[in-house]
Amino acid sequence: MTNFPKSLFVASLMIGGMSMANAQEKTKPEQTEVYTPVPPVVVTKEVTVSAPSDAIILFDGKDLSKWVMTDDRNKPASWTVAKNVFTVNKKGGGNIETKESFGNYQLHLEWQVPANIQGKGQGRGNSGLFLASIGKGDDGYELQILDSYQNDTYTNGQASSIYKQLVPLANPTRKPGDWQAYDIIWTAPTFNADNTVKTPARVTVLFNGVLVQNNAELKGPTQYVGDPAYRKVHGPSPIKLQAHGDSSLPLSFRNIWIRNL
Ligand code: MG
């Protein structure tokens, strides 16, 4: 240390400080929220698509036999089935996911926010469709489900966003009580032998028949705090539905089917 020129020592400290600042992780959820521009509202009618002959039916209106609890895949899905739909069970142990795993696929799913929904922002009819579930809890790539009918929130967190990552091209959300439809084409990511990403995930989404994600590239799985990145190698994965922890009334689902591509 004695022979180390003082000016160089100060310079190295400064560089050290700068690089530390650059590498500093985002520590607050607000740092990855985007508010403008706001996607234009588009008015749509109800969309439904019957399952084609080669589809795997993930919910036929009768039971959740194709689904298990995410946090304990030995347990059957505990959500409530009635009148040809099923409803999130917020006290029932959390998210559910398919027994089967999928790579690239086409998926149709319909969801409904209760007509008497209360709350605002992310606390109003929040659920989510994880296009690939890669672990417990909310691990995976979340296509947001939310009441985005006259309900402002960050645009990369509104319905049909890839949560905290891809803002939808439009807002065709219908009013609470109406059924909403997602039609999705998912291209799973691939990985090199050294665990780096070879080809990133891509997604196309039609929301009530309106294009909202156009072969969009994902930066990695959804991350609530900080920037997304591909940190975990995975192959074909289950599809997951979110039991969000907000206190608003639970959503319902119907007519879910998938075609392997
Ligand atoms: Mg959600």
Q: What is the CA radius of gyration of the chain?
A: 21
Six-digit token string for 219: 């930066």
How far is the CA of 89 from the CAs of 31, 81, 95, in angstroms? Answer: 31, 10, 9
159 C-alpha to ligand 1 centroid (Å): 9
Closest C-alpha to 256, from 106, 32, 89: 106
- The separation between the first and the last C-alpha atoms of the chain, rounded to the nearest angstrom, is 63
Give residue 12's pLDDT band: very low, low, confident or very high (50, 70, 90): very low
244 C-alpha to ligand 1 centroid (Å): 6
146 C-alpha to ligand 1 centroid (Å): 7
Please list the residues that pair with 118 across neighbouring strands. Answer: none
13 C-alpha to ligand 1 centroid (Å): 43
Please give the Cα distance from 209 to 156 (Å, whole number). Answer: 20
Six-digit token string for 52: 């084609």
127 C-alpha to ligand 1 centroid (Å): 4
Mean predicted lDDT score pLDDT of the chain: 92
pLDDT, tens digit, 9 for 90 and up, residues 92-142 = 779 999 999 999 999 999 999 999 999 999 999 999 999 999 999 999 999
pLDDT, tens digit, 9 for 90 and up, residues 80-98 = 999 999 999 988 779 999 9
Please list the residues that pair with 107 across neighbouring strands. Answer: 184, 258
Six-digit token string for 45: 């009618």
163 C-alpha to ligand 1 centroid (Å): 7
6 C-alpha to ligand 1 centroid (Å): 54
Q: Does domain 44-260 have CATH number 2.60.120.560?
A: yes
Closest C-alpha to 258, from 243, 244, 239, 242: 239
φ and ψ of 73, to 5 deg: -65, -5
Q: What angle do CA 258, 60, 63 make, to 5 degrees?
A: 120
43 C-alpha to ligand 1 centroid (Å): 23
63 C-alpha to ligand 1 centroid (Å): 23
pLDDT, tens digit, 9 for 90 and up, residues 185-203 = 999 999 999 999 999 999 9
Give residue 7's pLDDT band: very low, low, confident or very high (50, 70, 90): very low
How far is the CA of 191 from the CAs of 198, 201, 227, in angstroms? Answer: 5, 10, 19
Can you give the pLDDT at residue 24? 66
198 C-alpha to ligand 1 centroid (Å): 28
